[in-house]
Amino acid sequence: MMQPSEQTSFSNTNVLAADLSSQSYVEDGNIFVGAAKHEKTLTFIKYALLLDAIDEGWLYEQQGWMFNQLQRYREALEAFERARHLGYANDGWLYKQKSYALTRLDRGEEALEACERARSLGYVNEE
pLDDT in tens, 47-70: 777 887 678 999 899 899 989 988
Task: For residue 20, name the pLDDT band (cuts at 50, 70, 90).
Answer: very low
Distances (CA, A) of 85 to 20, 38, 57, 109, 115: 35, 24, 8, 22, 18
Task: For residue 24, name the pLDDT band (cuts at 50, 70, 90).
Answer: very low
Helix (H) or strand (E) holding 31: strand 30-32
pLDDT at 17: 36
pLDDT at 33: 54
Task: For residue 19, name the pLDDT band (cuts at 50, 70, 90).
Answer: very low
Closest alpha carbon to 76 in 56, 61, 58: 61
pTM summary value: 0.66
